[in-house]
Chains A and B, each alone.
Chain A
Amino acid sequence: MSATRAAAPPASRRPTAGVRPAGGPRGSTLLRHLAVVAVAALLLVAVSYGLEPFRNFQLATVAAYLCATAGLTVLTGLNGQLSLGHGALMAVGAYTVALSQNAFADRGVTGQWVLPISLGAALLTTVAVGAVIGVAAARLRGPYLAGVTLAVAVVVPALTVTFDGVFKGEQGLPVPVEPPPAALGPYFPYERWQLWVAGAATLLVLLLLGNLVRSRFGRTFRAVRDDEVAARLAGIHVARTQVLAFVVSAAGAGLGGALLGVLAQSVSPGAFSLTLSLFLLMAVVIGGLGRLAGAVWGAVLLVVLPDLTHTVSDLVTLPPAVAQRLEGNLPLAIFGITLVVVMIAAPGGVQGLLSRLGRALLARWRPRRT
């Protein structure tokens, strides 16, 4: 049934180089991923000492987005379900963390263990919401699923205004966060601590997702994406697989949203509009559907491109009114054009281009050696 085939580029259907069954010549997948994550963590700590505070904060934002884009990659790239509602799921996570942190602060409970509990609560809430949407989504295909999740993306921010007794409407909620632990010294920059928190959470998510993708579940995700009927014939419970993919993906989005809320120290509906959902989708498409590495490119792009246009519009002297209009909208326009062009010209995204380049180089290099 062609209606369920994913937007993933044909290249990703081929087994990627480096995929070997667990316990193969390179040892277990878990150990390999653990090593990668450990190196990444060390790099992150080193980088966090080398960068100025604002760059640390930006990197932390990349990490928060990465949680969400990695989740969306699993859903759209690996399972072939399109969700325009991940911005709304991020809002669910962010508001849960805000409510939880406020509840702790109101009762005078403090300590470094409070934030992980709030993040966990955000994760669980989003998983519950994701399961509800996922059960509905498992029965829907193609444009219908897109339409429903689009409605979710439009409706959820509006709910914060409807129930403004709890969510405080347009102005949103503050997210009280503890200062860095005293053991790190009195002059430890707050932004570096933010990067550590967000980075740790994101690396954990990536480790789990990376293993999931290489596991039996990852294979069933891809089987359902590529051919539902064949997957069913092979004994895969299609609906259950789709719900599972949605729940996993929602968890990523929820944690990403919660981290964003923690980083910004406030949540408001304006930050989780339909545009955010479209941004996430754009990020995974441009990064490269079907690969977790693509999610990294996408998350970086989400933070860097607005910053870049800001810098460019600062260089050119413009009347303030024009500059203000350009500043908010130019990144949107660039994102939009890029999304359309990438979809038409390079459906594999950045990561697809890179691996094609890598394969081409490898092919030129190998014959010479033999």
Chain B
Amino acid sequence: MDRFVFLTLDGLSRGSVYAASALALVLIWRAARIVNFAQGAMAVAAAYVAHSVTSATGSYWLGFLAAVVAGLLLGALVDVAVMRLVDHRSPLNPVIVALGLVLLIQAVLGMVYGNEYRPAETPFRRTALSVGGVAVLSPFDLFVFATIAVVVVGLAWIFTRTAVGLRMRAAAFAPEVSRLLGVNVGGMLTLGWALASGVGALAAMLVVPTELGLHPHAMDLVFVSAFTAAVVGGLDSPPGAVVGGLLVGLLLSYVSGYVGSDLTPLAVLALLLAVLLVRPAGLFAPVAARQV
């Protein structure tokens, strides 16, 4: 029972990070109808920026801030310099371009920092506190929960309560009409990319210390998990992405705790396939009429 409680809490902690990553994917999907396959690599790049800043200044928080800012800038840059120029008539083109970015970013990181694991700093201890003799959460897990909660609430606030959020939703929902009404559709798109990439960078800062460490490929499996989470929630739904992320986190935690940690990638693949084959629109999508 103790083990179950521990695995559940650990799963929720990992899951909240997947939720943030999935949320970033959903943001771009809603805005541009692109699944950003480069998101993992972009997030790792931001985490490396944080690593550099932290080792230069000695302050974790400056590094954390730098990662988020780097994420925002990188997202805007990718949209303006690359994705804007891609022919979007075929859905394969943006995917292929994003994969080219993955190769490029990982190679540049490998050239600058080397292809070895670097230890990632944490602001809080990662040893679990025990409540009544049961190991529950580490201070770092609490930090993860708090950060993700702030991000989710913040995004929800931006999109539902602010004028910019309204414009972004309008630009995504009906670009032509929004343009006629004076919305800077391109700018909103860039803002969406920046926001999503910033959230992705934040998620990388939170997940990298719990894995093997900083490495150009550190987010490969995390990205697959995040994509699965986004698909479980239905790519179109932000609340679905959050719930999907938590579900994926729990599943992975149980599988690695009860079956073996080697099997977690297989579990992700099985879940992804199962959801796509049984309910391709995700668990939270309304039942759609047949599309032709």
Contacts and interface: CB of A to CB of B under 8 A. Distances in A.
Interface in A1-40: 1-3, 5-8
Interface in B220-241: 220-221, 224, 227-228, 231, 235
A91 to B, nearest CB: 14
Interface stretch (B62-70, B153-161, B267-275): B267-275
Given A6-B90, A147-B272, A150-B224, A339 B85 contact: no
A76 B265 CA distance: 26
Contact of B220 (A274, A339, A340): A274
B276 A333 contact: no
A343 B103 contact: no
Q: Counting chain B CB atoms within 10 Å of each CB, which of A141, A229, A343 scores highest?
A: A343
B110 A336 contact: no
A152 B217 CA distance: 16
Give chain A's interface secondary structure class: helix
Interface stretch (B5-13, B93-101, B121-129): B93-101
B82 interface: yes
B252 to A, nearest CB: 13
Contacts of A326: 111
A326 B115 CA distance: 11
Contact of A136 (B85, B105, B114, B277): B277
Given A139-B277, A343-B100, A333 B111 contact: yes
B31 to A, nearest CB: 14
Q: Counting chain A CB atoms within 10 Å of each CB, which of B89, B90, B105, B224 scores highest?
A: B90
Interface stretch (A66-74, A99-107, A112-120, A277-285): A277-285
B37 interface: yes
Interface in A52-81: 76, 80
B72 to A, nearest CB: 21
Say which size band chain B's interface belongs to: 35 or more
B106 interface: yes
Give chain B's interface secondary structure class: helix
A100 to B, nearest CB: 24
Q: Counting chain A CB atoms within 10 Å of each CB, which of B99, B106, B263, B291 scores highest?
A: B99
B165 interface: no
A337 B95 contact: no
A294 to B, nearest CB: 14
B254 to A, nearest CB: 17
A159 B273 CA distance: 17
A281 B96 contact: yes
A64 to B, nearest CB: 21
Given A335-B100, A339-B103, 9 more contacts: A6-B90, A84-B99, A136-B277, A143-B29, A144-B231, A150-B227, A158-B262, A329-B108, A332-B103
Interface of A: 1-3, 5-8, 76, 80, 82, 84, 136, 139-144, 146-148, 150-152, 154-155, 158-159, 161-162, 229, 274-275, 278, 281-282, 285, 321, 325-326, 328-333, 335-340, 343-344, 347
10 contacts: A76-B92, A140-B280, A143-B235, A144-B280, A151-B265, A155-B265, A158-B266, A162-B262, A274-B220, A339-B99
